[in-house]
Amino acid sequence: MNEANLDPQHEISELRSRIRDNYSADEAAVLHGLVERIKLSEGDRRKVAAVGAKYVERVRKETSPSMMEAFLAQYGLSTAEGVGLMCLAEALLRVPDAETIDDLIHDKIEPSDWGAHLGKSSSSMVNASTWALMLTGKVLDDDPKGPVRALRGLVRRMGEPVVRTAVGQSMKILGRQFVLGQTIEEGMKNARELEKQGYTYSYDMLGEAARSDEDAIRYHAAYARAITAIAKQAKGDVRSSPGISVKLSALHPRYEYTHRDTVIAELVPRALELAKQAAKASIGFNIDAEEQDRLDLSLDVIEALLSDPGLAGWDGFGIVVQAYGRRAAPVIEALYDLSERLDRKIMVRLVKGAYWDSEIKLAQELGVKTFPVFTRKVNTDVSYMACAQMLLDRRDRIYPQFATHNAHTCAAVAAMAGDDKDSFEFQRLHGMGESLHQIVKQSEGTRCRIYAPVGAHRDLLAYLVRRLLENGANSSFVNQVVDTSIPPSEIARDPVTEMQSLGNAIASPSIRLPGELFAPDRRNSRGYRINEPASILPLLKAREAFADTIWTAGPMLAGSPAPRGPARDAVSPADGSRVVGKVHEATPDEVAAALDAAEEGFRDWSARPAAERAEVLRRTADLYEEHIAELTVIVTREAGKMMFDGIAEVREAVDFLRYYANEGERLEAEEPGSARGIFVCISPWNFPLAITTGQIAAALVAGNAVLAKPAE
């Protein structure tokens, strides 16, 4: 990795700097600022909530839920069966062989209580699915008293592939609720019925991030073919014509900030070719939002694309903004500023966001300061309202596209928009929110576009899992609107009032901050997001101080340097010409002296309280974090690692120290005086810091003396 690529010398605007500053902004502070942007009075918000409640009442009274809405209501994330299905769907994406699939199905289906759901859904299809799942569960159950014993024997004679095939077919049936067609031609054909009713479409070609350049070329060709097909139905006006949504990660296998220069050189021309093709056809072309650590790079790509003179005069270039991101508001400001500077009109699709679970987990895993997304659904709803207000206030340059399945959100947007209902549109997912959007369309006279995935079933599961996670939680509108036990007024309650009622608990206390992941036992090790400039650039700056450092290593006796003889060079395994440092080897006499010193030191060290020994480890962990810049430079050079691996190794060493500090105190309380004597710790060459630290820490905290030797 070329670290210079991590800190590109390109100018960014003041607004872009503000986006970076908001990366780790305090959640409550961001939300208080967002509330100030909403121009609806308290009385207006009460009216909006009442309208939203009426929408819910009409949805329940006048229409039936779709199969997917009924399925999510019955098997949401609040049920063991729902979680099992989510796990099964997500895991099937990666399982390589039939035998493992069979084991997985047995694990996820057999323990579940499918009978409890039988007949509970309003959808006959969902009840039929429950019968099938219950039957499958009983087939896999070893209970000889089960009512389907004969069928179980039959299936076992035929083989578990029968069950495997049935589950696969069930996932496909589920997927068809979200996918408009397996080809763009099939999808466009299936779209005709609703197009006759005034709906428009934005097609999304199924497929995840490219893993190779061959993938990227294939996805690029698929997008190009789709644009050619969509162009045949263009109506000369972007707003009335179908459009396409494009994932930048599908166009380049290294769509990461660490490869910014390569991405600008290779991805931008690919995306520009597609954008020009869409511009020529006068159709919409939306850049999808992806993970938060791609945001900064995506803005570089978007600016490079929009700046091309070949796109001048075309109003169909669109960008997706995720309201659950704490940087959403400054992103909108930056996009508006860009359109002003370039004298362009753009589209902005506002979504709530589909990667919330992974964003939370990744931040916790990485040990960063805080989350890039809001930690409560209500906070995201407030952000959505504020961002919607910002977009509606900027309609001179921006055509807002509001993607939502939430009745309150629809009512709020309509109220904030005023009388001009032609200058924006609502959007919904294919297979979701049909009833709500039909009612809103009739009541408000607004436009509605359907976001419709198109692609083969083999590409379906990743998309399906995102939709299930996004809409399967108890708090989702899609789930609640089907549950008639929840009053409409509760479903459509004002998020601003709800958020303000939280007081000092605006950030969810049930979601541990990254640094508190292992609380109350220990602090998580501090980490960095290398694809997020606001996170990684300070570390890069600190590393510069050690760019030319040559370290010296030699034997230490009881904490003091021993006399040193001739030194040899230690070179990097990644670059044999690069000297990492000078090494002085210990002599046999020095080793003998070290053993004597260890034996003498053992008596004093083992007699110290366990808490005192543990505190030494914790102070060492803090020092490691304080000196992480130097340590990552040494580790990456000595072991030939990438910088991300160097950060991970320092973090692992810190975690070892804190973990063993706790364990040492616990074990001493259970078994006092457990020290054994002198331990020799020899580290592997490929983990010169982490494994060395772990070995030494475990021995020391138990009261032992240690002789440590590196691999070479």
pLDDT tens figures, 247-265:
999 999 999 999 999 999 9
Fold topology of 533-709: Aldehyde Dehydrogenase; Chain A, domain 1 (3.40.605)
What SS3 class is residue 681?
strand
Which regions of the chain are under pLDDT 50?
1, 4, 7-9, 77, 112, 114, 117-118, 121-155, 157-158
DSSP state of 39: -
Contact (CB, 8 A) for 455 and 206: yes
Nearest to 293, CA basis, from 198, 211, 365? 365
Q: pLDDT at position 541, please?
A: 95
Radius of gyration from C-alpha coordinates of the chain: 30
- In this predicted structure, what is the pLDDT of residue 514? 97
Query: Between the CA of residue 691 and those of 396, 417, 647, 651, 710, what are the distances in Å?
Result: 59, 60, 14, 12, 10
DSSP 8-state class, residue 709 = E
What span, in angstroms and rounded, lies between the C-alpha atoms of 24 and 146?
Answer: 55
Q: Where are the domains of the chain?
A: 3-66+177-511, 69-173, 533-709
Q: What CA dihedral angle connects 665, 667, 672 and 673, to 10 degrees?
A: -90
- Closest alpha carbon to 280 in 322, 318, 238: 238
Report how many helices (DSSP H) and strands (DSSP E) the chain contains, helices first: 28, 15
Q: What's the token pair of residue 105?
A: 């199905």
Q: How far apart are CA 259 and CA 261, in angstroms?
A: 6
Identify the CATH assignment for 3-66+177-511 out of 3.90.1150.10, 3.40.190.10, 3.30.1490.190, 3.20.20.220.
Answer: 3.20.20.220
The predicted pLDDT at position 97 comes to 75
Q: Specify the DSSP element, H or E, that contains 618.
A: helix 610-626
- How many CB atoms within 10 Å of residue 196? 8
What's the pLDDT score for residue 126? 44
Asked whether the beta carbons of 525 and 654 are under 8 A apart, the reply is yes
Residues whose CB falls within 8 Å of the CB of residue 498, separated by 6 or more in sequence, listed in order: 378
Helix (H) or strand (E) holding 706: strand 705-709
Q: Which two tokens stand for residue 14?
A: 């003041």
Residue 266 pLDDT: 98
- Which two structure tokens, joined as six digits, stand for 383? 């952000």
pLDDT at 312: 95
CA distance 260 to 215: 19
Query: Within 10 Å of residue 622's Cβ, how many Cβ atoms?
Result: 14
Q: Omega before 520 cis (within 30°)?
A: yes
SS3 content of the chain, % helix, strand, coil (to 5): 55, 10, 30
Q: Which of 285, 259, 291 is nearest to 271 (CA)?
A: 285
Query: Given this model, what pLDDT does residue 483 score?
Result: 77
Distance (Å, rounded) from C-alpha 122 to C-alpha 604?
74
| Amino acid type, 698 | A
CA 8 to chain CA mean position, Å: 25
How confident is the model at residue 566, as a pLDDT? 87
**Tokens at residue 54, please?**
């009426």
Q: What is the pTM of this model?
A: 0.86
Count of alpha carbons within 13 angstroms of residue 546, beta-carbon side: 19
Can you tell me the distance from the alpha carbon of 175 to that of 460, in angstroms, rounded to the nearest whole number?
7
pLDDT for 671 equals: 87
Distance of alpha carbon 553 from alpha carbon 556, whole angstroms: 9
Question: How many of the other CB atoms lie within 10 Å of CB of 242?
Answer: 26
Q: Note whether 570 and 553 are within 8 A (CB).
A: yes
- Residue 135: predicted pLDDT: 38
